[in-house]
Structure 1
Amino acid sequence: MTTTVATVATAVAPVAPDEAEELWRAVVERRPLDDRSFFYGVTSTRIVCRPGCPSRRPARANVRFFDTVDAARTAGYRPCKRCRPDEPAGQGVRACLERACHRLATEEEEPSLAALAAEAGLSPAHFQRVFKAGVGVSPKGYARAARATRLKAALNRGERVTDAIYEAGFGGPAPAHAVAREHLGMPPSAWRAGGAGQVIRHAQADSDLGRVLVAATARGLCDIAFGDDDEALRAGLRARFPKATLEPADDSFAEAVAAVLALIEQPARGLDLPLDVQGTLFQRRVWDALRAIPAGETVSYAEVAARIGRPNATRAVAGACAANRLAVAVPCHRVVAADGGLSGYRWGPDRKRALLDREAEGRDAENMDSAPAGEGVHRGSLHPSAKVG
């Protein structure tokens, strides 16, 4: 007995009263500390836990603090099977986020933030921060996007608009219309009708990568596509919006076309025009990650997956890149295979290689930063190389 007490005494790191109080508050609130890694053991059960463990809160008198799990083991404690302090911390976080995402995406009644946080063993405020850091949006935003995806699927199956709204989990038409405009770019009835009632302006122009189609809804650019045949480009747009009104653009659209052509010539300049991005939550997260890749750099599909917190979703990332409809503006051409190979590109590998070569040259150019900000964009008229048809 005496030997055991001595072993415990040497394993427990001395903790000042003020620090012990701070650690105990972290245990009570089930949150890790940003500047202090620690674990706590419960003398009545001889179990060691992380501060965020969802298990029942122990009595303060029964808690001992440790700097490492090994120190707790030396003192005779075994790792908790719920929070698994002996495993890398990220694994537990990912599991919590995956469970929360599954509930938000599948449950008919949206679970509350408090319920999700309690299941994860965290305070609501801390869970909100962890979720947004790991998923990229708040739990509320994720739930909205999940309902939008269900709404889109129901409408595509031909369900009546009212039935689709309630099947997707909305409480009524008003919130459904707000989410549909954000994620589908149009009201549910218009989406079900193939874009009926929507007006999409479009124009074709010459670029040094072939003909390019530029199309826009009232919300912003919805399509930038390369091709060799104007009729095929228009047919592709019509296939996306079979019942929308496609209007050839007038001169007021010339500035947008010129900006797109300037972007193709100098991708590093960016595009200061609104985009009407229509896709699932996952696709939008991938596309946001693509827009954060600087011109002149490339990343692999696996790297993109890691950046959005989904390291096992490499194939899904490739699918999102393939679904991109805004060439160069959403630079999916900057994503390559793990071995550096070009991999696929909706508008052809030759164009992908040309864009990457152009960006590499621009990155290496010594006078790149000295170019006038407005050079290449001719407001009120088409780019000199443009020929709208």
Structure 2
Amino acid sequence: MNTTLQPAQTLIDAESAWSQVMARDPQATIFYAVLTTGVFCRPACTSRRPLRENVRFFISPSDAQAAGFRPCLRCKPQAARSNALERVRKHLEANLDRRVPLDELGRIAGTSPFTVQRMFKQAMGASPSQYQRALRAGSLRSELKSGASVTDAIYNAGFNSSSRAYEADPLGMTPAKFAAGGRGEHIGYATAASPFGWMIVGATDRGLCWLALAESEAAAEQTLRDEFPAAEVHPDASLVEMVGAALDSVREGRDLSQTLTSKGALDLRGTVFQLRVWQALRDIPRGQTRSYSQLAADLGDANATRAVARACATNRVAILVPCHRVVGASGSLTGYRWGVERKRQLLDSERG
């Protein structure tokens, strides 16, 4: 196992943490691991106290597991963290009409504001404030698509004023324009031939909203028009750099997000669950794959395999959110929004 001091461990006061272990403090938020057993526990664990020199401290269960330790079967440290996360999540969902401060979430989780922020983002793939924004955005999309007026949709989604909804910019365009299929929105795009077919990127003045693959240039352009049928779309030569960056990310492993976000905001529009899936996809190392069931388990819900598959199928930004890295349980490539053969080519290129 890896016993090298991890960066997160430097944030822990070792003497204070050891005192919590000795006192079996039930309010302690750190975790300790024992080198001689390879197990990590909560400080309140009733197991025999280890020798101090054999103990290492961690902020989260995932940090301890990354260092090679396994969870204690007696105190179940992962379950303790899951319960705290569930309390925080429910509180955020019950208070969508206001910003919930971190110190309030810390009291609910029984931990510090810093720890609850880090714990939540690690598990959910988004900070508490981002999670709330995503919830409101998802509700706003549903309201608008169901035919509600813009004003009713904004308030029903949890925004306490129309100005807050427009400032939050949860759709990548104004609510009224989203409801009208992008009517009045100007979307620039660029296309280019690639080894994986024709690639297209689309962006508003707020940021990237589309990255797709198709058989021909005309088909690539049509994908954008189908997504935003009422928008005004037009070629934009300045976006060609994005196409090149997307190709480089596959061929050479360059960080595409750095190039894209330097041109404007990245707009990953989806439900909270979709955002979590898309974040998990971005965490899969280049050239590797995960099954839909593995991804569901990683997200804490082994029964969500179909929901994970749907989130992959609705991904709007190919390559940047690498849904091509998800395969069937048998290792088969299964479906891919832009074609199974293209999926094979992308994986072969990453592995090559």
Do these two structures clear the TM 0.5 threshold for a shared fold by scoring above it?
yes
Task: Give 1 or 2 for the bigger CA radius of gyration.
Answer: 1
Whole-Å separation in 2 of the counterparts to 1:36 and 1:333: 36
Amino acid in the other structure paired with 1:98: E
Whole-Å separation in 1 of the counterparts to 2:243 and 2:101: 45
Whole-Å separation in 2 of the counterparts to 1:318 and 1:230: 27
Amino acid in the other structure paired with 2:28: R
Aligned runs of 1:51-62 on 2, under 5 Å? Answer: none
C-alpha deviation, 1:342, in angstroms:
0.7
Aligned runs of 1:118-197 on 2, under 5 Å? Answer: 120=109, 122=111, 126-179=115-168, 181=169, 183-197=170-184
Query: Which structure 2 residue ranges, 5 or more long, are not aligned?
Result: 1-16, 35-41, 50-72
Partner of 1:90: 78
Distance of aligned partners of 1:22 and 1:155 in 2 relative to their CA distance in 1, 3 Å threshold: same
Does 2:102 match 1:105?
no
Partner of 2:240: 254
1:136 and 1:285 in contact (8 A); partners too? yes
Partner of 2:38: none
Aligned runs of 1:1-389 on 2, under 5 Å? Answer: 26-27=25-26, 30-35=27-32, 66-67=46-47, 88-107=76-95, 109=97, 120=109, 122=111, 126-179=115-168, 181=169, 183-249=170-236, 251-263=237-249, 266=251, 268-271=253-256, 272-274=259-261, 275-361=266-352
2:291 and 2:329 in contact (8 A); partners too? yes
C-alpha deviation, 1:244, in angstroms:
1.3
Distance of aligned partners of 1:141 and 1:277 in 2 relative to their CA distance in 1, 3 Å threshold: closer
Whole-Å separation in 1 of the counterparts to 2:199 and 2:112: 51
1:211 and 1:229 in contact (8 A); partners too? yes
How far does the alpha carbon of each residue in 1:58-102 deviate from its partner, in whole angstroms, 9 at most, with x for none?
Answer: xxxxxxx94369xxxxxxxxxxxxxxx956232343244234323
Whole-Å separation in 1 of the counterparts to 2:148 and 2:225: 22
SS of match in other structure, 1:150: helix
Whole-Å separation in 2 of the counterparts to 1:313 and 1:288: 16
Whole-Å separation in 2 of the counterparts to 1:139 and 1:92: 19
2:120 and 2:128 in contact (8 A); partners too? yes
1:268 and 1:294 in contact (8 A); partners too? no
SS of match in other structure, 2:286: coil
TM-score (norm. length: structure 1): 0.65
2:187 and 2:203 in contact (8 A); partners too? yes
User: For this pair of structures, how many residues does the alignment match?
Assistant: 299
Amino acid in the other structure paired with 1:334: R
Distance of aligned partners of 1:86 and 1:162 in 2 relative to their CA distance in 1, 3 Å threshold: same
Whole-Å separation in 1 of the counterparts to 2:279 and 2:108: 30
2:197 and 2:215 in contact (8 A); partners too? yes
1:136 and 1:308 in contact (8 A); partners too? no
2:154 and 2:165 in contact (8 A); partners too? yes
How far does the alpha carbon of each residue in 1:147-180 deviate from its partner, in whole angstroms, 9 at most, with x for none?
Answer: 121112112222222221211112212322232x
Amino acid in the other structure paired with 1:254: V
Distance of aligned partners of 1:116 and 1:349 in 2 relative to their CA distance in 1, 3 Å threshold: same
Whole-Å separation in 1 of the counterparts to 2:194 and 2:134: 36
C-alpha deviation, 1:318, in angstroms:
1.8
Query: Which structure 1 residue ranges, 5 or more long, are not aligned?
Result: 1-17, 38-49, 53-64, 70-84, 362-389
C-alpha deviation, 1:225, in angstroms:
1.9
C-alpha deviation, 1:352, in angstroms:
0.8
